[in-house]
Amino acid sequence: MASCPFSSATPSSAATPIPSPLPRPRFPAKFTSSLPCDELSSLGHEDGEDAVPVPDTLLSSPRMVRNAVYSFVNPEDQSKNAFLLSWNKDLATEIGVESSKIDKLSWSEEEHQHLVKVLSGGGRSLKTVLEDEKKLKDAGESPRLSQPWAHCYGGHQFGYYAGETINPSTGGSWELQLKGAGKTPYSRFADGYAVLRSSIREYLCAEAVHALGVASSRSLAILSTETMVVREEGGEPGSIVCRAAPSWIRFGSFEIFFYRKDRKNLRQLAEYVVGEVYRMEKDDPKVMAQFSEEFRKEEREAEAKLAKAKVNGNEQKSASTEKSSKDSKDKEDDNTPTRPMYHNRFAKMFAEVARRTALMVSGWQAIGFCHGVMNTDNMSILGLTIDYGPYAFLDKYDPTWICNHSDTEGRYSFQQQPGVCLWNLGRLALTLENLIGAQEQVDDLEWLSQQEADPTLEKKLKGNATDIIVEIMNKSFRDVFLKDYRERMNVKMGLGGADELQDDDLTEIVVPALAWMDDHEVDFHQFYRELADYKVQTAESVADNAGQVESFVKKLVPTPVWQSRGNVAIEECKGWLRPYHIRVLRSKYQQDDANRKAQMNKVNPMFVFRNWVAQKVIERVTDSVMKTRAGSQEPDADKDLLDRVLWMCRHPYGEDTQEVAPKVGDACEVKRNDAGLEAYGDFVGPVPEWGQGIQCSCSS
């Protein structure tokens, strides 16, 4: 996965040695060797020196691609005057980069240039090292690097390339993508580029969400390119982000085949996800046969009995009354056969997708994260947060908050996110219902084909699937979401972990506290940090803590709110604080103020990558990039700012962080802010007035 763009231009072009900082790619990639390829882009791909190259301009041209999950496409070469802005050594460790090459300061100048060239699409122009090529051939391995590809799925995709790598230590598989690397067949009329501001937002936020304990794609590197990209605001500096995930398959990957009625490739994709992404075993034919023997015979007998009862009931009908009709209906219901349902591998796959999606969105709600564009093409089959566009972390708590200013109807508002995930899962289920509904007969392809060819039989197939899907939605999504959300919120509020959950914690404390925050415009993240300082050891009740309660409320509510209705805010705060105080005192561990504070501050961040922070970072990094490109010799305090803010995103919990924030370069000074937190400089504290509630667009 880590080696998508690390390929030769065509099968006949010269081999390219792998740059030292990156692990060797898997070739051929499991993804491309298992799934159908765009026929045009595959022409001559495996023909070696006899290949007939297809021009890149044709391969990357927007066009209709059918019967394919991907297209081989080379990234556009933007390596001229490109340079590395930041490198994520934490992720580099996870994908298997050699320990001696984790830190970019250990690279030679040649290695540094080599990496920049590869990640900016210029790998095809690197000179072949014949000795390395010969060693690879002698070892029976292909000297060619993995051929990059672009995903085909329902939705929109502008310039994403993928390749695979394996961590040799863990065996973990990763796909790397270049976002902003030029056109693909799926770019439609877009240019396939990425502007610096959107690249910075994705590069940093993916790591921030991951560090806050929510599943996410990851960020390996960000580069500045010489490309000037035209957007609504005019010309902007171009950039490329190298991002990583175990798989980039989305709900939309299934939808495109479903709506094209391409059952063959839909099944092939589902088989790939089951076997290669989730590593699930094939259904055991013996188990399926046993199920069919035990339950299908019983089901058929019950159906026959019911049919006979209906016939007899009709023959005995005479001058029936309303009562006799009711008795007959009751008898019919009593004879309705139970319908045992076999959960085959596709049902199990869907259940796992639903479970992971539930954990992802419960995490979003707990950390105050708004995605902004929850289309099915932005929903990961692994339950990862992907495609960071118009996202935002909450400032003041507002459940109706819409972070995408293009979302005029509020479809993706903060409070709607769990419901949208459920709706999206329904769309995925629709694509799988025939496979799920086939139950233990799913591998009898002739039988399944007959069912799908007959509208009446297919209707029964879909009916079987509905019962299974509803059960999965309830157990794997709704139940999992509620359980995980309750556990996350209890820990955030200092009420203990999963083993200390109490039935009324959510209804008596958590929900009322959120409503109080909403009513009085309280900052979502500051609330938990201040609550961690609330002391119960010296007071038996809230009534004994009047001074502390007043101070707590005054710190949290904005000045205008305090001046206009401070007393109301205090009284309403006591409404949820009374049961909270009692609840904390019941727990031997939580009633210890120091222990509770330490526990809360390990899960409630001091540093949050809010939109106002992103805006300041974008402005400063953009100025730094422009100075560099202009050849300025002046000292640049922001030259290493991205590395420093990346560290903040990776270590968001403040004074409890054990690792000391690095001084990345001589020009990158560590500052102390008003809160006394050196690591975060000017990026923590109250949200400035200009930074409240910043919305973004899909191009941000």
Higher pLDDT, 307 or 210: 210
Q: Pseudo-torsion of CA 213, 217, 218, 222, nearest 10°?
A: -140
Residue 190 confidence (pLDDT): 65
Higher pLDDT, 30 or 212: 212
Q: Is 228 helix (H, G, I), strand (E, B) or coil?
A: strand
CA atoms of 270 and 615, how far apart (whole Å): 40
Q: Look at residue 145 and tell me whether its pLDDT is greater than 70.
A: no
Q: Which of 248, 278, 306 is the last residue of a domain?
A: 248
Residues 551 and 440 grouped into a single domain: no
Across the strands, what pairs with 369? 393
Assess if residue 318 is contained within a domain.
no
Q: Look at residue 46 and tell me whether its pLDDT is greater than 80.
A: no
Annotated catalytic residues are 377
Residues 429 and 524 grouped into a single domain: no
Q: Which of 464, 490, 516 is the last residue of a domain?
A: 490
Assess if residue 239 is contained within a domain.
yes
> Taking the CB of residue 558, how many other CB atoms lie within 10 A of it?
16
Q: Which of 434, 457, 490 is the last residue of a domain?
A: 490
Residues 582 and 466 grouped into a single domain: no
CA atoms of 370 and 90, how far apart (whole Å): 25
Residue 304 confidence (pLDDT): 74
Residues 420 and 550 grouped into a single domain: no
Higher pLDDT, 229 or 570: 570
**pTM score, two decimals?**
0.89
Assess if residue 263 is contained within a domain.
no
Residue 185 confidence (pLDDT): 66
Q: What is the mean pLDDT of residues 12-26?
A: 58
Q: Look at residue 546 and tell me whether its pLDDT is greater than 60.
A: yes
Name the pairing type of β-strands 218-231 and 83-87. antiparallel
Residues 128 and 144 grouped into a single domain: yes
Q: What is the mean pLDDT of residues 421-428?
A: 97
Residues 216 and 67 grouped into a single domain: yes
User: What is the percentage of the chain residues whose pLDDT exceeds 70?
Assistant: 80
Q: Exposure string (b/e) for 65-74, b if CB count within 10 Å is 16 or more?
A: beebbbbbbb
Assess if residue 97 is contained within a domain.
yes
Helix (H) or strand (E) holding 465: helix 455-472
CA atoms of 357 and 215, how far apart (whole Å): 9
> Which structure tokens are listed for 134?
């010969």
Helix (H) or strand (E) holding 422: helix 417-437
What distance, in Å, lies between the first and last C-alpha atoms of the chain?
27
Q: Look at residue 645 and tell me whether its pLDDT is greater than 70.
A: yes
Residue 3 confidence (pLDDT): 33
225-233: Cβ within 8 A, 24+ apart: 225/78, 225/81, 225/82, 225/120, 225/180, 226/78, 226/80, 226/81, 226/82, 226/629, 227/78, 227/193, 229/191, 229/193, 229/194, 229/195, 230/191, 231/195, 231/699, 232/697, 232/699
CA atoms of 652 and 29, how far apart (whole Å): 36
Q: Look at residue 1 and tell me whether its pLDDT is greater than 50.
A: no
- DSSP labels, 76-123: P---TT-EEEEE-HHHHHHHT--GGGSSGGGS-HHHHHHHHHHHTT-G
Residues 101 and 231 grouped into a single domain: yes
Q: What is the mean pLDDT of residues 197-202?
A: 96
Assess if residue 173 is contained within a domain.
yes
Q: Look at residue 554 and tell me whether its pLDDT is greater than 70.
A: yes
Higher pLDDT, 526 or 183: 526
User: What is the percentage of the chain residues whose pLDDT exceeds 90?
Assistant: 58
At residue 664, what is the residue type? V
Q: What is the mean pLDDT of residues 460-488?
A: 97
Question: What is the SS3 string spanning 511-580?
Answer: HHHHHHHHHCCCEHHHHHHHHCCCCCCCCCCHHHHHHHHHHHHHHHCCHHHHHHHHHHHHHHHHHHHHHH
Q: What is the mean pLDDT of residues 541-549?
A: 94
Q: Look at residue 596 and tell me whether its pLDDT is greater than 70.
A: yes
Q: Sorting pLDDT into bands at 50, 70 and 90, what band is 274?
A: very high
Which alpha helices (H) appear in 316-416, and where do they start and end? 322-335, 345-367
Residue 167 confidence (pLDDT): 81
In eight-state DSSP terms, residue 376 is G
Assess if residue 698 is contained within a domain.
no
Residues 477 and 524 grouped into a single domain: no
Assess if residue 327 is contained within a domain.
no
CA atoms of 149 and 162, how far apart (whole Å): 5
Domains: count for the chain:
4
Q: Sorting pLDDT into bands at 50, 70 and 90, what band is 685?
A: confident
> Which structure tokens are listed for 475?
């157990």
Range of the domain at 97: 30-248
Q: What is the mean pLDDT of residues 280-299?
A: 89
Residue 379 confidence (pLDDT): 97
Q: Sorting pLDDT into bands at 50, 70 and 90, what band is 18?
A: low
Residues 561 and 649 grouped into a single domain: no
Residues 231 and 355 grouped into a single domain: no
Q: Look at residue 58 and tell me whether its pLDDT is greater than 80.
A: no
Residues 418 and 480 grouped into a single domain: yes
pLDDT in tens, 323-379: 555 554 454 444 444 578 999 999 999 999 999 999 999 999 999 999 999 999 999
Residues 173 and 82 grouped into a single domain: yes
Q: What is the mean pLDDT of residues 80-100?
A: 93
Q: What is the mean pLDDT of residues 252-269?
A: 94
Assess if residue 394 is contained within a domain.
yes
Residue 196 confidence (pLDDT): 95
